Structure 1
Amino acid sequence: MSAPTALITGTSSGIGLAIAVGAARAGWRAVATMRDVSRSDALRRAADAVGVADLVEVRRLDVVDPASVSACVAAVIAEHGRLDAVVNNAGAGHVGTLEQETVDDVRAVMEVNFFGVLHVSRAALPHLRASRGRLVTVTSVGGVVGQPFNEGYCAAKFAVEGFMEALAPVAATVGVTVTVVEPGAVASEFVANVGVDRDAAVAQAGVYAPALRAYLDRTAGAFAAAAQSPADAAAAVVATLTDPEPAPRVQTSTTARQFVGAKLADLDGRAVATITAGWLV
């Protein structure tokens, strides 16, 4: 039998790159998609280094462009005849607070992190129904716990979590398994891609400057001290592709499990409010 086929978004670096390589090592044909295929060199080198280059196939897909999504999915079906799994990994970080950014800024975050997931999932679902496949979405602990100066990002990730939690029982009636995977801090280009100049951001933050300074310093320290490697985070995602009965919600580390667990056990919100308030002093 031919290898099962998984389409993975956002694979030019970080977790997505590691997921594509890890899936190929687990015997999947990894259709590794990215907005700019000229950035695929690192992925190709990583796949070649572990002997799975023949199972990693790079294709262009821009999650915010429905035509791009439809064209990519159609090409995969035309070439391979089936689609057994989708991993929604593409996303973009964002730091900001409501009074100092526009609604359009927040809308742009939602387009990538929420509506991008919907575009890909909607195009893939008919084919996942046919294969009784899996829909896996990489969210974040920020999809469970609201975090200071991450309002737009957390809103998008909360939306993804709610959408997938609601979709899961419906999809199960037609044979599709839905899982969300929640990383915590991961040492990847994702953080760099947020594009925050710490000193400039603090200088422009006005009354929020002390809190933003404390938040940025705390976050930099957390990533330096406890960030998980992309490969370790990706391993949890790949496991959902092979687990006979994957859980609807998966965290990628002990730290992520503890953080998410604090929220899910916090009925009145005070415990989480105490935790996150402590990041701003």
Structure 2
Amino acid sequence: MPTALVTGTSTGIGLATAVGLATAGHRVVATMRDPRRADALLAAAEAAGVEVEVAALDVTDAAASAELVARLGTIDVLVNNAGQGSLGTLEQLDDAALQAQLDVNYLAVARLTRLVLPGMRAAGSGRIVTVTSVGGAVGQPFADAYCAAKFAVEGLMQSLAPVAARFGVTVSIVEPAAVGSAFVANVAGRDRAASDDPYAPLLAAYLERTSAAFAAAQTPEGAAGVIVEAATTSAPRFRWQTSDAAVAFAGLSLADLDGSRVLNQTAGWLGTP
């Protein structure tokens, strides 16, 4: 039975992905910062007739990440799902706010990916699926720090993909648009909406538009279905969107929606296989 490590599974997309991979026949190790919040995940797994293993992990903790990967041994699928949003334009963001976004959305992803690569490379197989965002393709007002971190992680994964492929390891990214989950409630800087500053009218307009988008949000289960497909398909590709809205929005910046044009070109930079 292949082992899948999924981060950020207490709610939303991560929860549904963990259950989906277990249903697809994987041993799933589902991580969250506080295992006391595992009730919803365990209830969903029980309802689906599957089991998942819950493990405590703050993905920004380098030592804990290394310890978990070492304890699990061979990991066949890594789903980098844990993340956090941020609200604020650059002038409102101090260095700590910028660093916090990089720590969760970029550096933690890079670290876990680096930790599982030796085992996957030795096995000659493996899947690394990173949940980014349409915000990793299209910069958005007042999402400066978040989009910057997501752009960074997409660049990392697109650079890694052709090299990892030479060792049988498939690297993919999944770009959701608005998803109905607890993600928005956990966005850093939401209190700025009440600030009386020069940006307040612009922020209010942005939040009104965002509220409308989330009113028609995709379900976590719908987004998770695409992640599970990316992790299990016999025809993998680099870039996935989770809904028609995500395709349309990412398409504002991307003509290469499945990532094949870029990877076919960059793979050639490595010489003949």
Say whether the fold is shared (TM-score over 0.5).
Answer: yes
Tell me the C-alpha RMSD between the 2 structures.
Answer: 1.4
Q: Is structure 2 residue 81 aligned with structure 1 residue 89?
A: yes
2:192 to 172, 195, 201: 201
Aligned residues: 255
Q: Is structure 2 residue 93 aligned with structure 1 residue 101?
A: yes
C-alpha displacement of 1:201: 2.4
Separation of aligned partners in 2, 1:137 and 1:8: 10
2:203 to 198, 202, 212: 212
Aligned to 1:66: 62
Unaligned runs of 5+ in 1: 267-281
CA gap of 1:209–1:7, structure 2 versus 1, over 3 A, is same
Q: Is structure 2 residue 72 aligned with structure 1 residue 76?
A: yes
C-alpha displacement of 1:204: 1.7
C-alpha displacement of 1:128: 1.6
Q: Is structure 2 residue 161 aligned with structure 1 residue 168?
A: yes
Separation of aligned partners in 1, 2:136 and 2:99: 17
1:221 to 204, 212, 217: 212
Mapped contact 1:187–1:227 kept (Cα < 8 A): yes
Separation of aligned partners in 2, 1:39 and 1:261: 36
Aligned to 1:137: 130
Q: Which amino acid aligns with 2:134?
A: V
Paired residue secondary structure (2:149): helix
Paired residue secondary structure (2:167): coil
C-alpha displacement of 1:86: 0.3
C-alpha displacement of 1:100: 1.5
TM-score, normalisation: structure 1 = 0.88
C-alpha displacement of 1:246: 1.0
Mapped contact 2:88–2:142 kept (Cα < 8 A): yes
C-alpha displacement of 1:196: 5.3
Q: Which amino acid aligns with 1:164?
A: M
1:47 to 32, 45, 48: 45
Separation of aligned partners in 2, 1:168 and 1:254: 25
Aligned to 2:222: 232
2:20 to 9, 17, 22: 22
C-alpha displacement of 1:202: 3.6
Q: Is structure 2 residue 116 aligned with structure 1 residue 118?
A: no
CA gap of 1:205–1:111, structure 2 versus 1, over 3 A, is farther
Mapped contact 1:16–1:90 kept (Cα < 8 A): yes
Q: Which amino acid aligns with 1:238?
A: V
Aligned to 1:147: 140
What are the Cα deviations for residues 133-159 of structure 1, in whole angstroms up to 9, with x where unaligned?
111100000000000000000000000
Paired residue secondary structure (2:4): strand
C-alpha displacement of 1:203: 3.8
Q: Is structure 2 residue 253 aligned with structure 1 residue 253?
A: no
**Which 4+ runs in 1 deviate beyond 6 A?**
none
Q: Is structure 2 residue 188 aligned with structure 1 residue 192?
A: no
Q: Which of the pair is proportionally richer in helix?
A: 1
Mapped contact 1:5–1:85 kept (Cα < 8 A): yes
Aligned to 2:29: 31
Q: Sequence identity, in percent?
A: 57
TM-score, normalisation: structure 2 = 0.90
What are the Cα deviations for residues 153-178 of structure 1, in whole angstroms up to 9, with x where unaligned?
00000000000000000101111100
Paired residue secondary structure (1:185): coil
Separation of aligned partners in 1, 2:90 and 2:121: 40
Mapped contact 1:134–1:241 kept (Cα < 8 A): yes
Q: Which segment is superposed worse, 139-148 or 59-68?
A: 59-68
Separation of aligned partners in 2, 1:161 and 1:202: 29
Mapped contact 1:205–1:212 kept (Cα < 8 A): no
Paired residue secondary structure (1:264): coil
Q: Which amino acid aligns with 1:88?
A: N
Separation of aligned partners in 2, 1:265 and 1:168: 19
